[in-house]
Structure 1
Amino acid sequence: MLKRIATNLLDIAYDEQGDVDGWPVILLHGFPYDIHAYEDVTPHLMSQGARVIAPYLRGYGPTRFLAPATLRSGQQAALGADLLALLDALEIEQAVLGGYDWGGRAACIVAALYPSRARGLVSVNGYNIQNIATAMRPDDPEKEHRLWYQYYFHGERGRAGLTENRRAFCRLLWSLWSPSWGFDDDTYARSAAAFDNPDFVDVVIHSYRHRAGLVDGDPQFDDMERRLSAMPSITVPTITLEGDADGVVPPGGRPVGLKRFTGRHENRVVPNAGHNLPQEAPDAFVSAVLDINAWAG
């Protein structure tokens, strides 16, 4: 059931399924995707007693900013703060957090900085907290070419291109990032509707410029960004997942980051899965969430 709840900055739209007294799971989507990424994950978790909550991130779907003057920031601290605010608004003291891409970043941030709020963590592509201080250091060409879309967004031509061609552009990313996933037109259209949010372009462009150190963030998140710059360890029980067909971050793409998981941790490589792993390999994602819940006791 689609619901809405107000935080200090947002009117957040979220899907909630399962018994309100079940063990809470927050599932967070990435860019450019939406909550449909979890449509096959949710029923399995519900059958195991979970209360499953999947919010639309800022700039997606029916989620809206409360004030016109609020910076349409897509920086990592904003995503983490939104998740923390959602937990507070829903009066959920502790939940299993799961996500990928932007959503995985939000989940990692809360798990790292507010570990008492995370019963455990499932993170696709490992440690998703950005090291902005080193963002302008060039990488090897094999890795650099995968980030072409980010460099495109650094200029105004990229903003205009995303504005005018957002559905075609995002569909191209789906195809490049999940080459083994044969999604159809209807599957894409269900998620692509979320990109019609009036703040989608502004949030996306700010995200990719901020992470490269090209624009300032929202001052209200300065303290959180300062704490994240230390690349904090994640101590809560964690399972990280990697799709072996991921067109953005192939298996082993973030080996250093795995050292940041200092609690119980297991890394799993999922065959024939691309970047949108929960939707492409729902059984693997479900297994990880259920195992984390069991680990947490």
Structure 2
Amino acid sequence: MDSFRRDGLTFDVLDAGPSDGDPVVLLHGFPQDATAWDRVTPALHQHGLRTLAPDQRGYSPMARPRGRAHYRLRETTGDVLALLDTAGLDSAHVVGHDWGGLVAWALAAWHPDRVRTLTAISVPHPGAMAKAMVTSDQALRSSYVGLFQLPMVPERLMLAGDGAALRRVLRHGGLPDDAVDRYVARMCEPRALSGALGWYRALPWSGRDPVGKVRVPTLHLWSTRDAFLGRAATEATAQFVEGPYRLEVLDDVPHWIPELAPDRVAELVTAHVRTT
């Protein structure tokens, strides 16, 4: 499959690997797209896994609704359920990075029958994140979220000069030039950045649907050079998982784990899938 539909929106999907392999859904974050997993998927395919990586809501050209309420967590998790239904899958292994990680946490908590295993990359459980916001430096690390709430201002700042500011931030964060070029080009498309920022702007709506404890087998990856997500929330996450849980810490890797440590991600995901 190369796309699926939900509520009049069309989502692009990169579906690859053995068609009869165990399915692994790969969910990207901000400001990435499905190509964030390009360096991870070849190894997963070699181990017999099928991968389905969608361009999520706000990123697919035909799935950029206007209005922040369209980007609340109930909607973004509903998109993944629609992907599974279209693919004819009762369940799948779910891997998410950044915002994709938050969707993965919610999906595992709300629909455990659809999630065989959970791999959350970078992002802690939302309950741990909320706790860390008042007990650590996490609020400072997340201060940029306040700027993203402003209408149109972030778009003007980041897209000025063909995305020069966004390009500088991503390069400074350690992303390879080819990934920077892809993501900036995508964000410069009509309504793309507003759609991507809609995830942040929908936080007041998403907060009304708390993510409870997770009972599916869970792997959590975090990197010590993550400028956005600190150790406190990471270490508190175990309190919100009642099933098998493992934390894997990657030393000296920035936030962009799928692009910068793809071999390790593939190794850990494969082992998590195979040993569960």
Scaled by the length of structure 2, what TM-score is found?
0.87
Match of 2:110 among 107, 110, 113: 113
Answer whether contact 2:124 2:233 (CA < 8 A) is retained.
Answer: no
Answer whether contact 1:26 1:53 (CA < 8 A) is retained.
Answer: yes
Structure 1 residue identity aligned to 2:10:
D
Answer whether contact 2:5 2:82 (CA < 8 A) is retained.
Answer: no
Aligned to 1:232: 212
How far did 1:16 drift? Answer: 1.3
Q: Are residues 15 and 182 of structure 1, via their aligned partners in 2, closer, same or farther at CA, if it must alter by over 3 Å?
A: closer
List aligned pairs for 1:23-102, cutoff 5 A. 23-65=22-64, 73-102=70-99
Aligned to 2:227: 247
Cα deviations by residue, 1:167-211 (Å, 9 ceiling, x for unpaired)? 3343344245x3xx3622x33112322223433233334322332
Supply the distance in 2 between the matched residues of 1:183 and 1:254 (Cα, whole angstroms): 26
Structure 2 residue matching 1:255: 3-state secondary structure? helix
Structure 1 residue identity aligned to 2:138:
K
Structure 2 residue identity aligned to 1:270:
L
Aligned to 2:254: 274
Answer whether contact 2:159 2:166 (CA < 8 A) is retained.
Answer: no
Residue 174 (structure 1) aligned with residue 170 (structure 2): yes
Scaled by the length of structure 1, what TM-score is found?
0.81
Answer whether contact 1:101 1:128 (CA < 8 A) is retained.
Answer: no
Cα deviations by residue, 1:13-58 (Å, 9 ceiling, x for unpaired)? 0111112111101111100112222111101000111111111011
How far did 1:60 drift? Answer: 1.1
Q: Share of identical aligned residues, percent? A: 26
Runs of 5+ consecutive residues of structure 1 not aligned to the other structure? 218-223
Match of 1:154 among 149, 171, 174: 149
Answer whether contact 1:79 1:106 (CA < 8 A) is retained.
Answer: yes
Structure 1 residue matching 2:71: 3-state secondary structure? coil
Runs of 5+ consecutive residues of structure 2 not aligned to the other structure? none
Answer whether contact 2:226 2:253 (CA < 8 A) is retained.
Answer: yes
Alpha carbon RMSD of aligned pairs, Å?
A: 2.8
Answer whether contact 2:69 2:202 (CA < 8 A) is retained.
Answer: no
Residue 284 (structure 1) aligned with residue 264 (structure 2): yes
Answer whether contact 1:17 1:53 (CA < 8 A) is retained.
Answer: yes
Aligned to 1:191: 183
List aligned pairs for 1:2-13, cutoff 5 A. 3-13=2-12
Q: Report the more deviating stretch, 167-176 or 188-197.
A: 167-176
Aligned to 2:138: 143
Supply the distance in 1 between the matched residues of 2:143 and 2:56 (Cα, whole angstroms): 23
